[in-house]
Chain A
Amino acid sequence: KNEVEQSPQNLTAQEGEFITINCSYSVGISALHWLQQHPGGGIVSLFMLSSGKKKHGRLIATINIQEKHSSLHITASHPRDSAVYICAVSGETSGSRLTFGEGTQLTVNP
């Protein structure tokens, strides 16, 4: 079993829909990261959080430390949000190196 599990693996939505991507982890963490990878491969850090909730524009990330679960929400989705979204953790005992989930391929259709 992977230390970081994401669901769903693939997600197709219509423009304007509210989207949720889930991440569960099985290790103690120092922080959880949400990353975005566009076609062509570039990776951008969206959020880094260790508790509570963060919001940036139409993106919201939440984390529940007790349940070892995080969600990434996209409100009013747009075709430009189409990308792979990756959850990653910095483990308590593994320092700042990241352990990654398999990613969620999101496609938003106009």
Chain B
Amino acid sequence: GAGVSQSPSNKVTEKGKDVELRCDPISGHTALYWYRQSLGQGLEFLIYFQGNSAPDKSGLPSDRFSAERTGGSVSTLTIQRTQQEDSAVYLCASSHSAGGIYEQYFGPGTRLTVT
């Protein structure tokens, strides 16, 4: 079946512009996670959803970052007034549920470059 998909695969934007990154999880997966991988650094957690609710937003680096999930499926990560330090690969993952420990399936990522 189809895996996790993300769009766009690459995004170049000017400093100060807003961007939206999209994630389509595996069908039936109720848990959805956003992570970020900055150049030369490890992966870091941003936010996760169980259904349409976000029980843990603790990884969002500033109030310029927000995310939503609708219909228990697609999620959008929005970064307002982008800064150069936002440049990174943004990864989405989904799993069967967040209530329990399940394998996470990762999307291919969106590479964001802020110029």
On A, residues with C-beta under 8 Å from B are: 30-31, 33, 35, 41-45, 48, 50, 86, 88, 90, 94-103
Question: A96 near B106 (CB under 8 angstroms)?
Answer: no
Question: B106 near A103 (CB under 8 angstroms)?
Answer: no
**CB < 8 Å: which of A31, A44, A45 contacts B101?**
A31
Q: In the complex, what's the smallest C-beta–C-beta distance from B77 to chain A, in angstroms?
A: 15
In the complex, what residues of A have CB within 8 A of residue B109's CB?
A: 41-42
- B18-26, B37-45, B68-76 - the one binding chain A: B37-45
Question: B42 near A100 (CB under 8 angstroms)?
Answer: yes
**What CA separation (Å) do A77 and B41 show in the bound complex?**
26
Q: In the complex, what's the smallest C-beta–C-beta distance from A34 to chain B, in angstroms?
A: 11
Question: A99 near B45 (CB under 8 angstroms)?
Answer: yes
Question: A42 near B106 (CB under 8 angstroms)?
Answer: yes
**What CA separation (Å) do A73 and B42 show in the bound complex?**
21
Q: In the complex, what's the smallest C-beta–C-beta distance from A45 to chain B, in angstroms?
A: 5
In the complex, what residues of A have CB within 8 A of residue B43's CB?
A: 86, 88, 98, 100
Question: A97 near B101 (CB under 8 angstroms)?
Answer: no
Question: A98 near B98 (CB under 8 angstroms)?
Answer: no
In the complex, what residues of B have CB within 8 A of residue A50's CB?
A: 101
In the complex, what residues of B have CB within 8 A of residue A48's CB?
A: 101-103
Q: Give the total of B residues in contact with A, Cβ under 8 Å.
A: 29
Q: In the complex, what's the smallest C-beta–C-beta distance from A52 to chain B, in angstroms?
A: 15
Question: B42 near A103 (CB under 8 angstroms)?
Answer: yes
- Judge whether B112 is part of the interface by a CB distance below 8 angstroms: no
Question: A98 near B104 (CB under 8 angstroms)?
Answer: yes
Given contacts A41-B109, A90-B101, contact A96 B31 (CB under 8 A): yes
| Chain A residue, CB-CB nearest to B45 | A97
- Judge whether B67 is part of the interface by a CB distance below 8 angstroms: no
Question: B103 near A45 (CB under 8 angstroms)?
Answer: yes
- Judge whether B51 is part of the interface by a CB distance below 8 angstroms: no
Given contacts A97-B45, A100-B44, contact A41 B101 (CB under 8 A): no
**What CA separation (Å) do A101 and B44 show in the bound complex?**
10
Q: Which of A31, A41, A96, A102 has the most CB of B within 10 A?
A: A96
Question: B55 near A95 (CB under 8 angstroms)?
Answer: yes
